[in-house]
Amino acid sequence: MQIPETRDVRVIFQPMNRVLTVPEGTPLFAAIGMAGIAIEGICGGKGTCGKCRVILTTGTCMAGPKTGTGCQLTQKERDEGYYLACQVTLSGDAEFTIPVESRIDSPQILITQPVAPGGIEPAVMRYRVETAPTEGLPFASRSIRFAGYSGLRPRMTDEQYHALLAAETPQAATLSTVRSPPAVLSLSPATDTAPLYGVAIDLGTTTVVGCLARLDTGAIIATGSTLNRQITYGEELLTRIGYASSPAGLATLQKAAATSINDVIETLVRAACIDSTDIFDVCVAGNTVMNHLLCGIDPRYLELADASVSRTPLQKTAKELGLMVHPAAGVYCLPNVSRFVGGDAIGDMISAGMHASDEVSLLVDLGTNGEIVLGTRHWTASVSCASGPAFEGAGIRAGMRAMKGAIDHVRGDPATGGICWSTIGSAPARGICGSGIIDLAVAMVQTGALDFAGKLNPGHPRVRAGPEGAEYVLVPAPENGIGRDIVLTQQDVDYLMDSKAAACGAIAVLLARYKCPVGAIRHLYLAGAFGAYADIGNAVRFGVIPRFPAAAVHSLGNGSLSGAYAALVSIRCRTAAETLAKHMVYIDLMVDTAFAEEYAAALYIPGRPDLFPPSP
445-453: list long-range contacts, CB under 8 Å, 24+ apart.
445/541, 445/542, 445/605, 446/412, 446/414, 447/412, 447/413, 447/414, 447/416, 447/417, 447/418, 447/419, 448/414, 448/417, 449/417, 450/493, 450/605, 452/604, 452/605, 453/603, 453/604, 453/605
Q: Which segment, 65-69, 130-134, 291-295, 434-438, is predicted with the most confidence on average? A: 291-295
Q: Is the pLDDT of residue 334 over 90?
A: yes
* Cα 418 from chain centre: 35
Q: How confident is the model at residue 267 (pLDDT cuts 50, 70, 90)?
A: very high
High-pLDDT (> 70) share of the chain, %: 93
Residue 202 has what pLDDT? 95
Q: How confident is the model at residue 21 (pLDDT cuts 50, 70, 90)?
A: confident
Average pLDDT over residues 158-187: 88
Q: Where in the chain do CATH 3.10.20.30 domains reside?
A: 8-102
* Superfamily of the domain at 8-102: Beta-grasp domain (3.10.20.30)
List C-alpha distances in Å: 335 to 187, 275, 312, 566.
30, 29, 6, 14
List C-alpha distances in Å: 7 to 1, 69, 443.
18, 30, 55
> For the chain, what percentages of helix, strand and coil (3-state, to nearest 5) are there?
30, 25, 40
Mean residue pLDDT of the chain comes to 89
In single-letter form, the type of residue at position 191 comes to: T
* Cα 328 from chain centre: 27
Residue 71 has what pLDDT? 47
Residue 588 has what pLDDT? 92
High-pLDDT (> 90) share of the chain, %: 58
Cis? peptide before 476, omega within 30° of 0: no
Q: How confident is the model at residue 138 (pLDDT cuts 50, 70, 90)?
A: very low
Q: 29-78: per-residue pLDDT in tens?
A: 888 888 877 787 766 667 777 788 888 888 888 876 544 444 477 777 78
Q: 221-258: per-residue pLDDT in tens?
A: 999 998 888 887 877 788 899 999 999 999 999 999 99
Spatial neighbors of 380 by CB under 8 A, at least 6 apart, are 349, 354, 373, 374, 580, 583, 584, 585
Residue 64 has what pLDDT? 67
Instruction: Decide: helix, strand or coil at residue 403.
Output: strand
Question: Which burial class, exposed, middle or buried, applies to 54 when counting CB atoms under 10 A from its CB (0-12, 13-18, 19+)?
Answer: buried
Residue 444 has what pLDDT? 97
Q: How confident is the model at residue 469 (pLDDT cuts 50, 70, 90)?
A: very high
List C-alpha distances in Å: 509 to 63, 307, 358, 479, 531.
46, 20, 22, 43, 21
Spatial neighbors of 409 by CB under 8 A, at least 6 apart, are 421, 422, 435, 436, 439, 535
What single DSSP character describes residue 455?
-
In single-letter form, the type of residue at position 71 comes to: C
Cβ distance 400 to 431 under 8 Å?
yes
Spatial neighbors of 371 by CB under 8 A, at least 6 apart, are 287, 340, 341, 342, 344, 345, 348, 363, 364, 365, 382, 384
Average pLDDT over residues 435-448: 96
Cβ distance 160 to 171 under 8 Å?
no
Cβ distance 603 to 455 under 8 Å?
no
In single-letter form, the type of residue at position 561 comes to: L
Spatial distance between the Cα atoms of 338 and 345, rounded to a whole number of angstroms: 11
Spatial distance between the Cα atoms of 605 and 603, rounded to a whole number of angstroms: 7
Q: Is the pLDDT of residue 288 over 70?
A: yes
Average pLDDT over residues 463-468: 92
Q: 94-132: per-residue pLDDT in tens?
A: 888 888 777 776 556 666 667 666 689 999 999 999 876
Q: 376-394: per-residue pLDDT in tens?
A: 999 999 999 977 677 877 7
Residue 53 has what pLDDT? 85
In single-letter form, the type of residue at position 262 comes to: N
Q: Is the pLDDT of residue 611 over 90?
A: yes
Spatial distance between the Cα atoms of 212 and 190, rounded to a whole number of angstroms: 24
Q: How many CA atoms lie within 13 A of 268 on its CB side?
A: 32
Q: 356-377: per-residue pLDDT in tens?
A: 999 999 999 987 788 999 999 9
Q: Where in the chain do CATH 3.30.420.480 domains reside?
A: 197-333
Q: Give all strands of the β-sheet with 469-475 in edge-to-edge order.
A: 463-466, 469-475, 486-489
Average pLDDT over residues 400-408: 87
- Which is it for strands 419-423 and 431-432: parallel, antiparallel or unpaired? unpaired
Residues recorded for the chain: 616
Residue 181 has what pLDDT? 87
Spatial distance between the Cα atoms of 460 and 469, rounded to a whole number of angstroms: 14
Q: 9-20: per-residue pLDDT in tens?
A: 888 888 877 888
End-to-end CA distance of the chain: 84
Spatial distance between the Cα atoms of 67 and 496, rounded to a whole number of angstroms: 25
Q: 482-494: per-residue pLDDT in tens?
A: 888 999 999 999 9
Select from 350, 340, 331, 224 the least CA-distant residue to 289.
340
Question: Which burial class, exposed, middle or buried, applies to 139 when counting CB atoms under 10 A from its CB (0-12, 13-18, 19+)?
Answer: exposed
Q: 181-224: per-residue pLDDT in tens?
A: 899 999 999 888 889 999 999 999 888 999 999 999 999 999 99
Residue 388 has what pLDDT? 61
Give, in words, the CATH class of 197-333. alpha beta
List C-alpha distances in Å: 58 to 26, 78, 255, 341, 482.
17, 15, 35, 48, 21
